[in-house]
Amino acid sequence: MSPLSGSKRRAILAFALVFGLSEGYLFAQDQSATAISHQVRELFERAAKAVVKIHGVDEHSEICGTGFFVDPTGTLYTAYTVGGEAGNFTVEFNGKKYPAHPLVADIRGGTAILKVDETTPALPIGKSDELDLATPVISIGYPLDLPKTPNFGMIAGFDRKCLGRYFSTIHLRVNAPTQRGEAGAPLLNMKGEVVGIVVSGLENNSACYAVPIEAAEKIRSDFVRFGEARHGWIGVNNVSGASQQVEGSRAMVTQVAEDAPAARSGLKEGDVLLQVGKKKIGEPEDVFDASFYITAGDVIPITVMRGDQKMTLHVQATMHPASKTGVLLASPGTIPGVIPMSLDEETVPSP
């Protein structure tokens, strides 16, 4: 245990006497907080090298936001509100400004990918499904016109909707304040791996939403394979809650679009969905998240229970009808980047 100054030691003793706590307990808590502070600072100093400030121009004005490199060839992720509808991009890192060009922007996932033709640092990619409630996380962004800034918080929820509107994929709710300019900031676990991208704020920016990093990775994979985001559709128009669980799932198909890929593959009304692609299904809302990761053209295994028979169907997905219309938006609420997003009527994506 590192030595404490006399004044700090006296303050801890006084606090212990007033609240009836042991001196040893308070010293241990103080040391734990100090260790966390050192860990956050060390992580910030290491990861900040790959975080950049993004400048651009849209049809209204100049914009600023945050982004971060994900490979050494200059590929960077940011929020759609920063890189989705603007142009003339430049990014600041290593004390210089570099031109950047857009690769792909995905309004449904709330993310965009830009490219700088330079050798760059890069952040390692983690897994959002390894997070639990109260897991500590860190974001690094450029709030307002201020320098690069760390932000410390914890995972407060894994939300499928907010204020009556469904997300196109599960969002990570983080108890960390955000400001304008921090859209596109990386959300890091305590190992320094990216687990999400900050896309919107809540209330008075006292908390924020981040999309899981897997959402951006899905779009990047589509771009590498096809040169664009290819959101898939299988034609299950409605999934409702079954009266009882079957193999751990209550997600029962109640409507299949006529002549859609699902119908042609043999999926029927009354089937209980157990798994769609790599996503296990337990509740009807799970299907929304699973549908985000379907890529048009791919053959998707779908496991169902039909009566007492368990079977796996193989469905070749087509392009999602709404993928080009902007119907399937990512994040309601106040965007901490540059463009406020109004709350529209409830939008429920269908797989």
DSSP string, 105-127: EETTTTEEEEE-SS----PPB--
Q: What's the rounded Cα separation, in Å, for the pair 268 and 264?
A: 10
What local confidence, expressed as pLDDT, does residue 141 receive?
96
Q: What is the pTM of this model?
A: 0.83
- In percent, the amount of the chain with pLDDT more than 90 equals 66
Evaluate if residue 133 carries a pLDDT over 70.
Answer: yes
Nearest one of 175, 187, 170 to 68, comparing CA atoms: 187
Looking at 82-164, which runs of residues are DSSP E strands? Answer: 87-93, 96-106, 111-115, 136-141, 149-162
Residues 6+ apart with CB under 8 A from 114: 54, 67, 75, 76, 78, 83, 89, 91, 100, 101, 102, 103
pLDDT band, residue 120 (cuts 50/70/90): very high
Adjacent-strand bridge partners of 314:
301
CB atoms within 10 A of CB 37: 11
Residue position matching structure tokens 């299907």: 287
Q: Sign of the CA dihedral 275, 279, 285, 287?
A: negative
How do residues 256-286 score in pLDDT, each as one tens digit?
Answer: 999 899 999 999 999 999 999 999 999 998 9
Evaluate if residue 224 carries a pLDDT over 70.
Answer: yes
**Token couple for 185:** 């900031």
CB atoms within 10 A of CB 27: 16
pLDDT band, residue 326 (cuts 50/70/90): very low
Least confident of 164-173, 248-257, 326-335: 326-335
How do residues 2-61 score in pLDDT, each as one tens digit?
Answer: 455 556 555 545 555 555 556 565 455 556 677 788 889 999 999 999 999 999 998 888
What local confidence, expressed as pLDDT, does residue 219 receive?
96
Evaluate if residue 343 carries a pLDDT over 60.
Answer: no
What local confidence, expressed as pLDDT, does residue 161 receive?
86
**Token couple for 24:** 């040893």
CB 211 within 8 A of CB 110: yes
